Amino acid sequence: MRSSERPLPDTPDVRPMWPGRQVGALHVRRGPDGREPGLFVHGLGGSATNWTDLMGLLEGAVSSEAVDLPGFGFSAPPPGGRYTVGAHARAVIAHLEGSGRGPVHLFGNSLGGAVSTRVAADRPDLVRTLTLVSPALPNLRRTEGSDPRLPLLLLPGLAALATRRLAAQSPERRARAVLELCYGDPSTIPPVRLAEAAEEVRRRNGLTHSQDAFTASLRGLVGSYLVRGPRSPWARAAAVQAPTLLVWGDRDRLVDVGIAPRAARTFPDVRLLVLPGVGHVAQMERPETVARAFLGMLEELGARAPGA
């Protein structure tokens, strides 16, 4: 696929987190300004900070906002405690409608990729382009090297046991375990990012809804895999009208890169980029490469536009 050769903004080796504020029901971090609006949606157990570096690299092209989904980051749990993919998608749609920023360049990682796919399919008027990093599309096979404790969280009786065992670990150890699972090459994890992740674990340990948000969102995601017919995740992917960029790492231990070819056949207007040696969070592990791929898509779309 096409990769942009335009110079990227000069950035520090590790950029500080973008400032955030409460906007309606969601906590939102605002990044640098650009020509067109963009919205970034994190994955399961993540937060808006997962997009820090990519947002900075898109300065000038995208006016970036990253949301904390309900129950994650600094966002409060949703009314009624609904953590389905549909509920998360409705929260994103409500934010876009309330802010009046649409249509946006919509980015999603993992669970956020499933949520963003649903938003793009259900509300094409709100989405200009769609960029998905390891989107959590249906795949019920256990990926080699994945965390064997995750399936336990699907079972009510065992979820509490798994939660207690995780809580017994130090924030630093839990943060390191998560990042090592998500990165293809854990040696590239910046120490500052590890410290930030540990502080986030420490803060969320004091929130009564924290584990519920993770467990219920995981169950909601897997539940969506069982839907068949025109409301299934794959049918919604086929209904997406926006130009789409798919990014996968070939060392992804959470969403099998083996489904990438099916995804590339399913989205109607698609570009696929598979990164060697990269894991589940390419926007964190190789933000420059993801930025260039996205900008390359914009250049391609501009070149094929009438009158270009």
Over the chain (308 residues), the average pLDDT of each successive run of 10 is 78 82 97 97 95 96 98 95 96 97 96 98 98 90 48 44 61 90 94 93 89 90 91 97 98 94 97 98 97 97 72
Scanning 226-281, the segments in alpha helix (DSSP H) are 233-239, 260-266
The reply to whether 1 falls in a domain is no
Q: Which residue has the tokens 């709100």?
A: 126
DSSP single-letter state for residue 208: T
**Domain interval for residue 283:** 20-304
Q: Give residue 13's pLDDT.
A: 67
Q: pLDDT at position 3, please?
A: 83
Q: Tokens 């965390």 appear where?
A: 147
> Cα 33 to the chain's mean position, in Å?
21
6 belongs to a structural domain: no
pLDDT of 1: 74
Residue 177 lies in a domain: yes
What's the pLDDT score for residue 151? 46
- pLDDT value, residue 159: 45
Residue 187 CB partners (closer than 8 Å, separation 6+): none
Closest CA to 242 of 70, 138, 112, 124: 124
Q: Which long-range contacts (CB under 8 A, 24 or more apart) does 20-23 make?
A: 20/48, 20/68, 20/74, 22/74, 23/95, 23/98, 23/99
Neighbours of 230 (CB within 10 A): 9
Sorted by sequence, the CB contacts under 8 Å of residue 254 that are 6+ apart come out as 110, 134, 136, 143, 146, 181, 182, 280
Determine, yes or no, domain membership for 296. yes
> Under 8 Å CB-to-CB from 275, ≥6 apart: which residues?
247, 248, 249, 250, 282, 286, 289
Query: Strand, helix or coil at 275?
Result: strand
The closest alpha carbon to 53, from 174, 175, 190, belongs to: 190
* Rounded-to-integer distance, Cα 51 and Cα 109, Å: 9
Which residue is it, tokens 């549909």? 86
293: in domain: yes
Ordered DSSP codes for 68-120:
EPTTSTTPPPPGGG--SHHHHHHHHHHHHHHHT--SEEEEEETHHHHHHHHHH
* Predicted local distance difference test score (pLDDT) of residue 238: 98
The pLDDT, as a whole number, for residue 65 is: 98
SS3 269: coil
Residue 247 lies in a domain: yes
The C-alpha atoms of residue 187 and residue 210 are separated, in whole angstroms, by 28
Q: Using the Cα atoms of residue 37, residue 224, residue 90 and residue 73 in order, give the sign of their dihedral.
A: negative
Contact 284, 193 (CB under 8 A): yes
CATH code where residue 151 lies = 3.40.50.1820
Instruction: State whether the Cα torsion 125-126-129-134 is positive or negative.
Output: negative
pLDDT of residue 150: 47
Evaluate whether residue 5 is within a structural domain. no
Number of structural domains (the chain) is 1
Using CA atoms, how far apart are residues 95 and 26, in angstroms rounded to an integer? Answer: 8
Residue 139 has a pLDDT of: 80
Residue 47 forms part of a structural domain: yes
Per-residue pLDDT reduced to its tens digit, 218-258: 889 989 998 999 999 999 999 999 999 999 999 999 999 99
